[in-house]
Structure formats: C-alpha cells, structure tokens
Amino acid sequence: MIHVSTSPTDDGLVCTFHVNRPNVPLLDYHFRRTVIGLTFPDPAVHDRGTGYGIAVVVGERCFFPVDSRRPPERIYVVLDEADGVLAASLFQSLVVLKDRYRAAIIYCPSSPPSLVEELKRQQGLTHYLERNPAMCRQLWPTFVSLKLTAGIQEVKTDDGTMHRDIEVLLNTTSKDRVTGDVIRMGGMDFKPVPRLVLPDDLPTQKTRTGIRQASPEICRALWYALSGLENSRGWMPGRTNLDHVMDTSRGPTGY
C-alpha cells in the first residue's frame, strides 16, 4: 500500500492508502492518534553493524463497547519507519513522518542529553520560527500547518520487559471488553486481530525483521511508542457517535 493522505476527523485521524487490488483503489484506516518511537544513532559503533537510529510510526485504533462507560479495546498498527546513521538526516526524516501521519508525540530515550536537546530544537518538527506558510513549504516540502508540531516525551528504557511487552501485544487477541467477543478483520477467513498489527503491505520491513531478530535499536523504538500509548489515554469519557463501536451482531469488524 502507498500512503496518500492523513486527515483530521472529529474523533482522531483517517489515513488513506492506495491499494494495489482490483476494485479497491483506496483504503481508509481510522486512528485515534499516531505517535513515533525513536532511538538515536551512535555512529561510533556503526562499524559493528549496530548503532543506527530508527523512527517507528504507530497508530492507535480504539474499539468501544456499546456501553460507553467502558474503556475501549486498543489496537496498535505499525505504519511506517525511517532509519539513519546520522542524527541530522534521521531528524529530517522525522519531520516527514510527523507531517505524513500527523504524529502528535515523539517518544525517545533521555540519553544522550545532547541529542535530546537537538531534537527539541528541530525546526519543522517541534516548532516553526518561520511563520510564513509559503516559506515553510519551501523549507519543508511535506509542510502541513504551523499548528502541526510534535511534542517530545522522554521514556525510561526498560530492556528487561521490552521484548516481553512486544511479544504479549503480538500474541494477545483483541476482544470486546464487555462481552469478550473476539475482534476480527474482514476477509474470507475473518482472522482474529492481535493488539499489535504489522501489515505486510506497509513500509515496515525493518521493524518486522527487527522484532524477529530481537534488534535492540528497533525494538526500543517500537517499545517507546507502544509504552507511550499504553500509559496514556487518547480519548475522553463519553464517546461521540463517530467512535468505533463494537456490534458483533453485524459481524466482525476490521482492525
């Protein structure tokens, strides 16, 4: 799939993709929010096959039970990625990912402090000194709006639980919080949907490979995004009628 656009909605975002399938030209994914998990590059050790940094985009989908007082089931979809050996080039890629998916927060480690501060000072990412939109489009071709900036949230690394947390989400089937009904994606076989989804047809090959190989850099970036989403809430009590509502009487829902 090829990303076409990301647009705000009353209850979050909709990402539109071009699908290379007959009679299915476009596919919409509805998300409550999108965030980015980031690990910083370390060129000093790159000659040993490690030390590169990576940014992983994750979208949060919320499926509410009919009883609006209950919390939703949250499903995380890995949407995109960018990597690099140099911080400057990776930070420029972050600007593109932030604009492309309207990511509100970038979760990163607190070390090294120099790179954290450089990230916070990155124009086009966390703020705009240039206030002329026309000039911003020349400086940042993916520019969307002066209001679209990302906050930086530092996360304490926990390598002891990182791999376990990712595996739990990959192997946990999404369910209605009230009835226990399994959430299933559309299609002929209606497969159950895990809480962490990595679609094969999105540009996330490095992330998928990194999980299989237990790559520290990649798993940390993904874990930063996932833990940031898991430990915060992207909805308000008393949903609107635009939220995703589980209604198993009408058949399985898509993820």
The fold of 33-232 is Nucleotidyltransferase; domain 5 (3.30.420)
15: Cβ–Cβ under 8 A, 6 or more apart, which residues? 3, 5, 6, 28, 29, 31, 34, 59, 79, 101
Q: How much is the pLDDT for 46? A: 52
Enter the tokens of residue 187.
Answer: 């299609």
Task: Specify the DSSP class assigned to residue 184.
Answer: B
Could you read off the pLDDT tens digit of each residue along the chain, which spans 255 residues? Answer: 899 999 999 989 999 999 877 787 888 999 999 999 999 998 666 554 456 899 999 999 998 877 767 788 899 999 999 999 889 999 999 999 999 999 999 999 999 999 999 999 999 999 999 999 999 999 999 999 999 999 999 998 888 899 999 999 999 999 887 777 888 765 445 778 899 999 999 999 999 999 999 999 999 999 999 999 999 876 554 444 333 433 333 333 333
Q: Alpha carbon of 141 to those of 49, 79, 150, 231: distances in Å?
A: 32, 20, 17, 33
Half-sphere exposure of 81 (CA within 13 A, CB side): 26
> Max alpha carbon distance in the chain (Å)?
57
pTM of the prediction? 0.87
Q: How much is the pLDDT for 15? A: 97
Element (H, E) at 162: helix 159-171
Instruction: Tally the residues of the chain.
Output: 255
